[in-house]
Chain A
């Protein structure tokens, strides 16, 4: 008689078997990981053919004389995969499609523009070889570099540049402005483009350079045609790295483009010679700041930016990693809604400005002194537009003056709605500190904390808010900033501001434009469309063996020229 397997016996045997298998698996998993393979042996980078950019025959609007970036002193080495932990995937890799920064940070390794910037944010040719400007400033003749290959092996010609720029002209704000001023765009031959303008446009080179969002990158003409009215379907560019693979929420891989043609014989700011030493850049989405920091310490990542402020000291003292402060700053801002009935009162805004102790506000939002600096200049001090004009109204910290201005204003105790978010480091703390200072003068604030998507939605409606906290990266020209242009939420569109903007946009030379900008900044401090407590910055953490990585941190997180030492 066969023995029937009872339920009890079956469960007992299953439990024993399952425990045994699980235990064996756990023991195997806890075994130390295999020793990582060291980067490959150093090789000398091949000498690439160089083309020195010819100086334009007419002095451009941006005369700068800048020493080139010093090349690495150690021997450069090819090889290695850079594991870059960032906050989250970009919404798209079509750089022309969106203004989000992270798209540009990644995309500018694959795509390039006609112009880029030197160390002082003066425009220099990149895909352009040279350019000439007619004496009346209405005609630009741009010569393209020859022999530039796309990642699909095709040579870049004026047809590709024409198609790319026309698409960009429809999609982006600066593009619409430029094409609105264009009389014609023609290609006399396959390496030349002629732009004829209806009026002088001082931002020509700047608009066609990288801006860190929705840049005029060059795609193959057939990719543009295939895209139609939507996003591009293939990520093909001329950059030192090419698209390899993207698994959403896991990683995005770029690999070296072996047929990349560098420009010149040394790096210059964001341009010059870009070399792809790394075999691969692997972007890994790691939303949690603590996990990013732990990952770099455990050796799972090689580069992390936007690490938590409170881990700075701990990371600085760890010999396995290198910590460096961002070289470029951001402008902290609390923007007023000039369409709001209560905020339309200039005396009230001046009173609010008088309240603010900028040092305290920045300390509250950033903590460590390394992460903030006081500065009255609305254009960052690293640019040639920096000025102290109107700066006597900056950081007044004068409660008596504030109360006096409040008496002169029409403010009668209304509660002001101040939107902020905890999604970006320091925004909430900045708003909290500033609003508390204003409360001492008798100004009532309702601090409304929400996620950024809600802030973006609500700020588009002038009835929904009075103040919101934001921050800006660098703009190389004030007229590239939507805020100084008056088109950004807040709507600083007073008559005097509009008049100065028009003057600034209609003047070609920097030496003539700078005094106009100073007047506009003085007007800013007089009309107070916004309070700018000062500048803030973050820091980056990287593998101690990684060199020259991410030093250009404004328009991109440049990993070209980055390399691993042994």
Chain B
């Protein structure tokens, strides 16, 4: 197991090299100039050039790439052109809102998606099944930002139960932090719950037709016991895969949700940086996202080992 983990971590190196070079090249080749954005609309070409020079953007691209790569190898992601702070620091400051949003969204996704999928599978072709799958289809199709705006109208504008947008740090006020995250987490969680429900249902349907489930029932075990002790554990592998994908996607920053709810997370920072062509932030965030995806996939693979005894025995 340790060797496998070490091998997987080593794969990070080629991943980061490819992702880093691709992001750098694509970013710099895309039309747009951070110096022009910073200088403003009325700026003369000389003023823009002055800022380009101050930022080192007038150096040849290979020089900029090797300078940036050299810094990254030393753990320095560079400084944001617009925020005037180290990219690493900017990312760390935004990890909390994105991380908490991820956790809470996953909570809603699992709380809604897994039971819905199980019930739909058990009551296959009944009205419950059709209702659950209809809602999950809606969850997949409805844009999360639109749902977010509706939630804001309902809970903030009409009912005054929750704030419309914004964020308070967990350390400042945990209750207020939760209040600000409830709506965005629910709107995001519902979208992921939809996927989870569908995967859970289809996996559960396969498992419920297996011989060992029939055997368990014929031995006299109750339906619930069969479901929870025999069927559900065998569904965990695909469910964990979806949860892993959702986790990685959420940790990369739920862009539209963070913009609609004005959460100072990684996704919102990324979209603003793209609009402003803040190259160091774009490159830094993409590298971090690549790391997140590799680590989350590794965590899911490790979880498989605990969840599926066959994998453990296969190792021995």
Contacts and interface: CB of A to CB of B under 8 A. Distances in A.
A220 B160 CA distance: 46
A100 B41 contact: yes
Interface in B127-163: 149, 152-153, 156-157, 160-163
**Does more than half of chain B's interface fall in helix, strand or loop, or is it mixed?**
helix
Contacts of B41: 99-100, 456, 470
B157 A250 contact: no
A249 B269 contact: yes
Contacts of A300: 156, 163-166
A291 B152 CA distance: 8
A91 interface: yes
B156 A298 contact: yes
A88 interface: yes
Contact of B85 (A172, A248, A450): A248
Contact of B262 (A19, A288, A297, A453): A288
A294 B156 contact: yes
Given A300-B156, A300-B165, A454-B32, A99 B39 contact: yes
Contacts of A198: none
A122 B83 CA distance: 36
Nearest to A461: B31
B183 to A, nearest CB: 10
Interface stretch (A29-37, A161-169, A516-524, A538-546): A29-37
Interface string B263-291: 01000110010011100000000000000
A26 B107 CA distance: 12
A213 B178 contact: no
Contacts of A456: 32-33, 36-37, 41
A243 B30 CA distance: 36
A414 interface: no
Contacts of A287: 259, 262, 268, 272
Given A28-B178, A300-B156, A453-B277, A91 B38 contact: yes
A291 B261 contact: yes
A288 B182 contact: no
A22 B107 contact: yes
B278 to A, nearest CB: 10
B47 A298 contact: no
Contact of A91 (B37, B54, B157, B161): B37
A457 B36 contact: yes
B36 A290 contact: no
B314 interface: no
B47 A487 contact: no
A300 B229 CA distance: 49
A458 B264 CA distance: 31
A92 B38 CA distance: 8
Contact of A451 (B33, B182, B275, B306): B275
Interface in B160-196: 160-167, 175, 178-179, 182
B31 A457 contact: yes
Interface in A1-45: 7-8, 19, 22, 25-26, 28-30, 32-33
B149 A294 contact: yes
A297 B165 CA distance: 12
A488 B48 CA distance: 13
A285 interface: yes
Contacts of B45: 460
A23 to B, nearest CB: 10
Contacts of B229: 8
A103 B45 CA distance: 20
Contacts of A285: 262
Nearest to A459: B36
B112 to A, nearest CB: 13
Interface size class of B (residues with CB under 8 A): 35 or more
B157 A294 contact: yes
A171 interface: yes
Contact of B42 (A173, A288, A451): A173
Contact of B161 (A32, A229, A249, A423): A32
B262 A214 contact: no
B60 interface: no
B299 interface: no
Contacts of A488: 42
A451 B36 contact: no
Interface string A288-305: 101100110111100000
A230 B37 CA distance: 17
A526 to B, nearest CB: 26
Interface string A172-216: 110000000000000000000000000000000000000001100
B82 interface: yes
A29 B37 contact: no
Contacts of A229: 54
A291 B262 contact: yes
A411 B229 CA distance: 79
Contacts of B167: 250
Contact of B259 (A288, A451, A457): A288
B126 interface: no
Interface string A229-247: 1110000000000000001
Interface string A396-424: 00000000000000000000000000010
A86 to B, nearest CB: 11
B151 to A, nearest CB: 10
B205 interface: no
Given A99-B43, A287-B259, A454 B31 contact: yes
Contacts of B152: 290-291, 294, 298
A542 to B, nearest CB: 16
B65 to A, nearest CB: 20
B272 A32 contact: no
A63 interface: no
Contacts of A551: none
A395 interface: no
A98 interface: yes
A451 B32 contact: yes
A298 B41 CA distance: 34
B272 to A, nearest CB: 7
A47 B43 CA distance: 42
A324 to B, nearest CB: 21
20 contacts: A25-B175, A30-B179, A99-B39, A99-B40, A99-B42, A100-B41, A173-B42, A213-B42, A214-B43, A247-B264, A249-B264, A250-B264, A291-B262, A294-B152, A298-B163, A300-B165, A451-B32, A453-B36, A453-B275, A460-B45
Closest CB pairs A-B (n = 6): A99-B40, A453-B32, A100-B40, A298-B156, A99-B42, A295-B164
